[in-house]
A and B are shown apart, each in its own frame.
Chain A
Amino acid sequence: MTKPVLDDLLLFDEALAFDTTGAFKSECPPDKKVKVENLFKFNRGHGDLPVSIVAAVIAMFFFVAFWTQAGWLDRDIPINAGTYFAYQLGLADIDGRVTRFGRILKQSWVVPMLCLLVLVPAALWNLRASFKVNKWRKRFMLPTSAYFELTKYAAALEFVAYFIGYTLLVPWLGYLVSTMIFGSFLTWRLGYRTRTWTLRGVACSFAIVIVFRTLLQIKTPGSIWLYDQLPSAVRAFMLTYF
């Protein structure tokens, strides 16, 4: 048996013990038809990288803000901090009076520090994982463009604006009128423009006002410009029931 020219060309190396006598046995594990893991499998979406970056930036922002915003400037730690913490861990000894650990723990910066100890490394770790996935995809020329996702995020901003507009409208026009306007407008904006659907939109808005405001008397803003324009008895009625 001549030695093969290349040592690492194992394919032709007789030394490997393949079982060539019996039935073929594959080295790969049998494929399971249904992988429950797939249900819970996490695939990073296309928008993942930009959002992970933003998340990491926000985490760093709070990290920077911590030093001024969480009471760190007013901290009250014993002067010999190193010895003190060693003492707490049982590694050193201090003579005389030792500050109670509780007095340090209840200072306002302790819990934010613990939180940041979890948040910042996790944010950076997540960013790293996101980068790795992105790099891997780019390497295999898989699509990585986040453009479509970003358009969807921008599209949602429109509805956010509508909602905030509704919020600002209520103290002016009162809950009933604002909700009717908002409900009908949204129904129209979402494309339900046939008569049946418009009526359904109006009816649902009205039903919500009646059930939650009139019947359950859930609180809504108390000083409404529109109601202030009405005569006093009507005003009282509208404020109570609508």
Chain B
Amino acid sequence: MDAFLLGLSNLMVPSVMVAIVIGSIGGLIIGAVPGIGPAIAIAILLPATVFLDDLVSLVLLLGVYGSSMYGGAIPAILINTPGTPVNALTTYDGYALTRRGEAGRALSLAYSASFFGGCFSITMALLALFAFGPYLRDLGALFGQRDILMAAVLGSVLLIAAHKQTMGLAAMLYGFGFLIAMIGRQSSRDIDRFTFGFEYLFSGFNLIVVIVGIFALSQALNLMIGKDAAAPEARVTGGLLSGFKEIAGNKVVTLISACYGTVMGIIPGVGEFVAQFFSYSTARALSKEPARFGHGSPEGLIASETSNNAVPAAAMIPLLALGVPGEALTAMMMVVFFDAGIKPGPDVFENNPDFLFSLFTALLIINVLVLITLLAFTKYIAKMIYIPNRFLGAFIMILAFVGVYSIRNSLPDCVFAMIFGYIGYILRRLDWPLVPIVLGLVLGSIILERLTAGSGQIKTAIDLINRPVSGTLFVVILMVIGFIIWTSITNRRSGYQN
């Protein structure tokens, strides 16, 4: 309990409060502008946060992460353009409602659904912390190097499985990410992988350089080469408070979607897309009016918005508990944890319990703050939609430079970030998923680290899996691989054309 109060008091510092406000409102705007999303913003802010105090930088990034999906619903509903990739499903029902003149109702539904989803997963996380927290310390001894190795492998397998239609592609991109993680020297003496004698490659590729390149710079190129969107005038009519009543009227859908979001968020390697997909499909299956889905069904809107907002808080859990990030954005935040001297892992509850409480409480405050801001200022935020894309792209480039340079004070890093940006641009044009590369990099380096560190205790192969946690995870991995093989065989039988 005192940890909770301590965590709360950590937040009451003016600089942290300011960071929460800037993060939330900044995140809202970033989410609202189609073309930039939380990935780009976090990628660019990340290096800057090294200079700020730990909790300040963390709540800043959390603010951006947690509030961008709220903001992303605005253009999705008003002009049929998702503000962030995860709001794509919102366009179906949201824009349809706008076309019927019910833009205000749609917006209010989206806000209240998001708010419920966010608060639900945060409350679950806080409850879990209260209930299981003190026991986590004993759990810590269960999680050694080999266990976390298995968790990372499980995350990788789930990541690939989640890309149902494009598993080969996801596996290939994951493999490339993994490869990038391995380039470099270790211990300056014996271990030298794929450096081809180039001095720059001795220290390997830094995660943030790759992330800024693949997410931010690729989008910058994409925006600059494309056209400025000729966005139609969108007017917000109707009150914004009706949403809450509708949520109360659709309790089942909301609750189920929130659960999907929370559970999918906890499972490493999955993420908002899968959560939305499942909750939307389930909502339609359970609905009394399935035909309305896609044509302005409030349940559809609720399903997509609730689940995608439930993911961020839940995705922090595997990151904090195991050190294995649940999805790409959380992977970026892992860097902030390391800089703060907080090593994610089973120890974190023993060593920094107040930090955990600060984190989730901050998320809660962010959700409340964002809701209030949206209810009051939607009109002004909606104006942000109209910033021209190409101009935006140019300034993302400028921001990316200073961000990348400040990581390792290395100009070649900037050049490589641009190369990764070019690669990311090609991937975007092909509609290939970008996340496997980043997660390949992150999970790959975890696997490398943990295998090296755990190898000491491995006398025979069975030692890899004869611990309770690693054994269980190994069984789950086998089950998932079996499932993958089974679905691809049945898909082949039914003549599924990829």
Contact residues of A with B, CB < 8 Å? 33-34, 36, 39-45, 47-48, 51, 55, 58-59, 62, 65, 69-71, 74, 87-90, 98, 100-103, 105-106, 108, 110-112, 114-116, 118-120, 122-123, 125-126, 129, 132-133, 136, 149, 152-153, 155-157, 159-160, 163-164, 166-168, 170-171, 175, 179, 182-183, 186-187, 190-192, 197, 200-201, 204-205, 208, 212-213, 216-222
Contact = CB atoms under 8 A, between A and B. Distances in A.
A59 B398 CA distance: 32
B169 A166 contact: no
B178 interface: yes
Interface string B46-84: 011001100000000000000000000000000000000
B221 interface: yes
* Chain B interface mostly: helix
Contacts of A44: 430
Given A42-B166, A101-B459, A62 B194 contact: yes
Contacts of A59: 172, 175-176
A70 B168 contact: no
Nearest to A161: B418
28 contacts: A36-B89, A40-B277, A55-B172, A69-B195, A70-B182, A102-B463, A105-B451, A111-B451, A123-B172, A126-B169, A132-B498, A136-B497, A149-B429, A156-B425, A163-B217, A163-B418, A167-B411, A175-B402, A183-B395, A190-B394, A200-B391, A208-B402, A216-B48, A218-B403, A219-B405, A219-B406, A220-B405, A222-B409
B202 to A, nearest CB: 13
Given A42-B498, A47-B426, A101-B460, A118 B455 contact: no
Nearest to B96: A34
Contacts of B166: 42
B171 A118 contact: yes
A102 B47 contact: no
Contacts of B426: 47, 51, 153, 156
Given A34-B92, A186-B394, A208-B395, A122 B172 contact: yes
B13 interface: no
Contact of A160 (B171, B172, B295, B422): B422
Given A69-B194, A111-B451, A152-B225, A183 B430 contact: no
B456 interface: yes
A119 B165 contact: no
Interface string B431-465: 10000000000001001100110111111111100
A119 B294 contact: no
A212 B398 CA distance: 11
B399 interface: yes
9 tightest A-B contacts by CB? A34-B294, A119-B175, A102-B458, A122-B171, A102-B455, A106-B455, A122-B172, A186-B394, A125-B168
Contacts of B403: 218
A146 to B, nearest CB: 10
Given A155-B225, A182-B398, A219-B406, A108 B193 contact: yes
Contacts of A41: 165
Contacts of A149: 429
Contacts of A70: 182, 193-194
A227 B388 CA distance: 35
B175 A163 contact: no
A129 B402 CA distance: 40
B88 interface: yes
B176 A119 contact: yes
A112 B398 contact: no
B198 to A, nearest CB: 11
A124 B422 CA distance: 23
A50 B429 CA distance: 13
Contacts of B225: 152, 155-156, 159
B414 interface: yes
A126 B425 contact: no
Contacts of A201: 391, 394
B415 interface: yes
Interface centre among B174, B193, B403 (most CB of A within 10 A): B193
B190 interface: yes
B491 to A, nearest CB: 12
A165 to B, nearest CB: 10
Given A42-B498, A171-B411, A204-B395, A112 B182 contact: yes
Contacts of B186: 108
A36 B172 contact: no
Contact of B172 (A88, A126, A136, A204): A126
B169 A190 contact: no
Query: Which of A62, A111, A164 counts the most B-chain CB atoms under 10 A from its CB?
Result: A111
Contacts of A156: 221, 225, 422, 425-426
Nearest to B197: A69
B248 interface: no
A226 B402 CA distance: 19
A132 B492 CA distance: 14
